[in-house]
Copies of this chain bind each other. A is one copy, B any other.
Amino acid sequence: MNSNKSIKEKWIEYIHQLQDNICAALESADGAAKFVEDKWERPEGGGGKTRVISNGSVFEKGGVNTSVVEGKINPAMMQALQIPAAGEGGSWFACGLSMVLHPANPFVPTTHANWRYFELYNAAGELMDQWFGGGADLTPYYLFEDDAKHFHQTLKNAHDPFGVELYPAYKKKCDTYFANHHRQEEMRGIGGVFYDHLRPTATKDVNWLFDFQQANGNVFIEAYVPIVMKRKDILFTAANKYWQEIRRGRYVEFNLIHDRGTIFGLKTNGRTESILMSLPPTVRFDYNDQPEKGSEEDKLLQACLHPVDWLNIESGIGEEVNHWAASVNSC
C-alpha cells in the first residue's frame, strides 16, 4: 500500500480487499451458491456494496457488506455511538465491513464479524476524533467444544502480538455486549472478541491500531471456515432444525432490541435492507420454550447463560455429538 495515503484511504482500500477475500473463501466453502452484489448510494453521502448469498449448499442466508458513509452529526446518532457530541455543525465519516452468515445445517454455527473506522469533524472540517472498533463471534446451535476452542484460539493468536492482555479483555467485552439483557443476560452465542472506541495514544498510534484491525480481519477465514468444513455434512433431523430456528429467534431479539450497530444504522438513515440482512432466513418464536434438562439443546443454552473460558477448560461441556447421525431433514 502507498504510505502517502491517509489512514482513511488505506482503510477503505483494505476493507474492500478483505470483502473480496472473505467472499471468495465462503463461496469456495459453500461449493454451490455465489454472492450477488447490490451497490447502493446514500442520499446524505457515500454508499456501499452489499453482497448476499442465499440458498447455498452450506449458507441458507448471509451477507458480507461494506459501506463508506458520511453525514452531519445528529443527537440520535451520537447516543447510538455512545460518544460525546463534537459540537454544532460537525460531521462524521464511517467505513466498515459487516458480515453475518446463517448456515442451513444446525450443526454449523452462525457467525458475525465487523471491523469499522470512524472519524468526527468539527464545523470547520477539522478532525476531532477517530477510532476503530470490531470483533467476531460465534453462535452455534449445538455445542462442539473443539469448535469453540478453535475459534477463540485463532482470535487469541491474532491478538497476542499486540499485547497478551487484549484477548481476555475483548473476549469479556464480547460476552457482555452480545447478551439479551431481557433474558437474564443470556448470550447470543459462545462469544469471540469485541472492542470499540480504540483511539490513538502516545504508544499505540493510528498505524498500530490499523495493524491490529488488519490482524483481526485477516484471521477471520482461518477462525471460521475450518469449522464449516468439519460440520457441514452432519445429518440433521427436523427437531435439530426446529431448535436452530428457536435460537435464531434469540438472534433476532438481540439484533433488533439491543445491537448498537443496527440502531446506529437505522437512526442514520442507513440502507434498511443492508442492515437487516443480518436477520436469519427462517425463525420460530414459541411461547416459553425450555429445552429438556441435560439434553444437547440444554447444554448449548447453559453455555449461553454462563460464559465459558474456552481456552482454560478441561472437558465436560460440549463433547462431540457424532451420535446425531440421523435422517436428513426434508422440511
Which residues in A have some Cβ–Cβ distance to B below 8 Å?
Answer: 38, 52, 54, 61, 63, 182-183, 245, 249, 252-253, 256-257, 266, 272-273, 276-277, 279-288
Determine whether the beta carbon of B253 is less than 8 Å from that of A276: yes
Q: Which of A183, A279, A285 lies at the interface centre, i.e. has the most chain B CB atoms within 10 A of its CB?
A: A285
Which among B182, B277, B279, B287 is the interface contact of A61 at CB below 8 angstroms?
B287
- How distant is A331 from chain B, measured CB to nearest CB, in Å? 8
Determine whether the beta carbon of A279 is less than 8 Å from that of B285: yes
Determine whether the beta carbon of B38 is less than 8 Å from that of A288: yes
Interface pairs (25), CB distance under 8 Å = A38-B288, A52-B288, A54-B287, A61-B286, A182-B272, A245-B282, A249-B279, A252-B256, A253-B256, A256-B257, A257-B257, A257-B266, A273-B287, A276-B285, A277-B287, A279-B285, A280-B285, A281-B284, A281-B285, A281-B286, A282-B282, A282-B283, A282-B284, A283-B284, A283-B285
In the complex with contacts A182-B266, A272-B182, A287-B63 CB distance below 8 A: yes
In the bound assembly, the distance between CA atoms of A283 and B283 in angstroms comes to: 5
In the bound assembly, the distance between CA atoms of A259 and B92 in angstroms comes to: 29
Q: Which of A61, A252, A283 lies at the interface centre, i.e. has the most chain B CB atoms within 10 A of its CB?
A: A283
In the bound assembly, the distance between CA atoms of A3 and B63 in angstroms comes to: 62
In the bound assembly, the distance between CA atoms of A287 and B59 in angstroms comes to: 14
In the bound assembly, the distance between CA atoms of A272 and B185 in angstroms comes to: 12
- How distant is A103 from chain B, measured CB to nearest CB, in Å? 15
In the bound assembly, the distance between CA atoms of A183 and B273 in angstroms comes to: 9
Residues of B within 8 A of A252 (CB): 252, 256, 283, 285
Residues of B within 8 A of A63 (CB): 287
Known A52-B287, A249-B279, A253-B276; further 11 A-B contacts with Cβ < 8 A:
A54-B286, A61-B285, A61-B286, A183-B272, A252-B283, A252-B285, A273-B287, A273-B288, A276-B285, A282-B283, A283-B283
- CB closest residue in chain B, given A54: B287
In the bound assembly, the distance between CA atoms of A257 and B265 in angstroms comes to: 13
In the bound assembly, the distance between CA atoms of A63 and B285 in angstroms comes to: 13
In the bound assembly, the distance between CA atoms of A252 and B252 in angstroms comes to: 9
Residues of B within 8 A of A276 (CB): 253, 285
- CB closest residue in chain B, given A263: B257
Residues of B within 8 A of A285 (CB): 61, 252, 276, 279-281, 283
- CB closest residue in chain B, given A61: B287
In the bound assembly, the distance between CA atoms of A252 and B279 in angstroms comes to: 11
